[in-house]
Amino acid sequence: MSKRDYYEVLEVARTADQPELKKAYRKLAMQFHPDRNPGDDVAEARFKEAAEAYEVLSNAEKRALYDRFGHEGLRGGGGGGGHAGFSSMDDIFSQFGDIFGDMFGFGGGGGGRRASGGPARGADLRYDLELSFEESAFGTARTIKIPRRTECVTCSGSGAKPGTQPVTCQMCAGRGQIHHSQGFFTLSSTCPQCHGAGKQITDACETCHGQGATQEEKEVSVKVPAGVDTGTRLRLRAEGQSGSRGGPPGDLYVFLYVQPSDVFERDGADLHIRADIPFVQATLGCEFEVPTLGEKHTLVVKPGTQHGDKLTLRNEGLARLTGSGRGDLIVHIGILIPQKLTTEQREILEQFAEVSGFAVKKSGFFDKLKEKIG
């Protein structure tokens, strides 16, 4: 399969410097991010392609090789298999977490896997929560179950059996990277023995089988404030994955999806409703009841109300998430014109037309006949 040129993929000149590369990659990553293109295989492929291009070009050694020998120069490499692109999305996020950092508000260290042995912050988690319109209007409390990776209590996350210590990896002498020569070049890759940790466990902890963490389902209660909408994101601090080697836990992000109301149209904190009233009531004025979030509300329609007039009930909308107070309930008036009239109604209206000086088509003999048999 032919591969596209990495500079072409990132849409940069061959002379592009690091900030330019980063900017170009960021732009593409945002455009083709799987969160923004759910189920789109083409976008996913572009996303991976851009990540691979950036991975090579942002590394001075790899870039030099690529510049001289193209894709061929990055092949092989021995030992760890050299450069083979990314096998999964997780790899991309763990490697370039900082690029996405301010994009979706996810803090650094999301991948959890670090080449260094220092403390690492736990990954942020995402949970999608669907709410009814009423729950969004009045607020609610929900308990959700989150599968989480939690630092093993037996070994405090080291993965080593209590009383034993991880030993320095012999293959990489604790560096986490191995170097090998290829012609004039020295390539480095992640140590396949310790996967970059620099240390190896000889006696694995029995609780976590050397993983340093266990998987558990934790119940988290989520307090949803009134007025949330689809797209609202709640952040629950320190409810994400636990950190490793003493690092802090990540956060839990709850993404909300609110079902539409059967009664109201929603526009931010404002609610809209349509009320159709007969033309006579609009002309003479009337009172009728409209539904609100609480009790029904009596609406006074003034004489001479027009089709499309808007009547506003202040503070009968939804709670405002930012600031204070509530939105309004706006009633859109529609005027109903009768499609059928009784003979009496017709005569009265014809009389009305006459005193108003309106020329109308008066009902003749055939119309009257039609009324009688129809």
Taking only Cα atoms into account, the Rg of the chain, rounded to an integer number of angstroms, comes to 34
Nearest to 271 by CA among 333, 334, 330, 332: 330
Residue 272 near residue 288, CB atoms below 8 Å: no
Question: At its nearest, how many Å lie between Zn ion and the CB of residue 208?
Answer: 3
Which residues from 71-130 bind Zn ion, rule CB under 5 A? none
Of the candidate residues 171, 280, 284, 300, the single one contacting Zn ion (CB under 5 A): 171
Return all residues near 327 (Cβ < 8 A) that are at least 6 apart: 268, 269, 270, 271, 315, 317, 318, 320
Q: Toward Zn ion, which CB reaches closer, 192 or 285? A: 192
- Residue 103's CB is within 10 A of a number of other CB atoms, namely 12
**By CB under 5 A, which span of 29-37, 66-74, 138-146, 183-191 interacts with Zn ion?**
183-191
Binding mask 140-159 for Zn ion (x = CB under 5 A): ------------x-xx----
Question: At its nearest, how many Å lie between Zn ion and the CB of residue 117?
Answer: 11
51-60 burial, b at 16+ Cβ within 10 Å, e below that, comes to: bbbbbbbbee
Pairing of the two strands 329-336 and 270-278: parallel
Give the integer Cα–Cα distance in Å for 114 and 107: 15
Q: Toward Zn ion, which CB reaches closer, 150 or 281? A: 150
Of the candidate residues 58, 193, 281, 363, the single one contacting Zn ion (CB under 5 A): 193
Structural tokens at position 48: 């991976």
Question: At its nearest, how many Å lie between Zn ion and the CB of residue 179?
Answer: 12
| Site for Zn ion contains 191 (CB under 5 A) | yes
Residue 168 near residue 198, CB atoms below 8 Å: yes
Q: Toward Zn ion, which CB reaches closer, 152 or 301? A: 152
- Residue 314's CB is within 10 A of a number of other CB atoms, namely 10
Of the candidate residues 194, 222, 331, 333, the single one contacting Zn ion (CB under 5 A): 194
Of the candidate residues 120, 172, 293, 333, the single one contacting Zn ion (CB under 5 A): 172
Q: Toward Zn ion, which CB reaches closer, 125 or 155? A: 155
Question: At its nearest, how many Å lie between Zn ion and the CB of residue 154?
Answer: 4
Give the integer Cα–Cα distance in Å for 234 and 88: 27
Return all residues near 214 (Cβ < 8 A) that are at least 6 apart: 149, 150, 152, 207, 208
Alpha carbon 218 to its chain centroid, in Å, reads 22
Question: At its nearest, how many Å lie between Zn ion and the CB of residue 118?
Answer: 16
**By CB under 5 A, which span of 3-11, 41-49, 132-140, 191-199 interacts with Zn ion?**
191-199
SS3 273: strand
**By CB under 5 A, which span of 13-21, 76-84, 206-214, 250-258 interacts with Zn ion?**
206-214
| Site for Zn ion contains 65 (CB under 5 A) | no
**By CB under 5 A, which span of 122-130, 187-195, 255-263, 323-331 interacts with Zn ion?**
187-195
Look up residue 233 and give its DSSP letter: E
Residue 42 near residue 56, CB atoms below 8 Å: no
Question: At its nearest, how many Å lie between Zn ion and the CB of residue 174?
Answer: 7
| Site for Zn ion contains 208 (CB under 5 A) | yes
Q: Judged by CB under 5 A, how many residues of this single chain contact Zn ion? A: 12
Q: Toward Zn ion, which CB reaches closer, 123 or 169? A: 169
Structural tokens at position 52: 């691979």
**By CB under 5 A, which span of 142-150, 171-179, 239-247, 259-267 interacts with Zn ion?**
171-179
| Site for Zn ion contains 169 (CB under 5 A) | yes
Question: At its nearest, how many Å lie between Zn ion and the CB of residue 243?
Answer: 15
DSSP labels for 67-89? HHHGGGGGS--STTT-----SSH
Question: Can you give the binding site for Zn ion, defined by CB under 5 A?
Answer: 152, 154-155, 169, 171-172, 191, 193-194, 205, 207-208
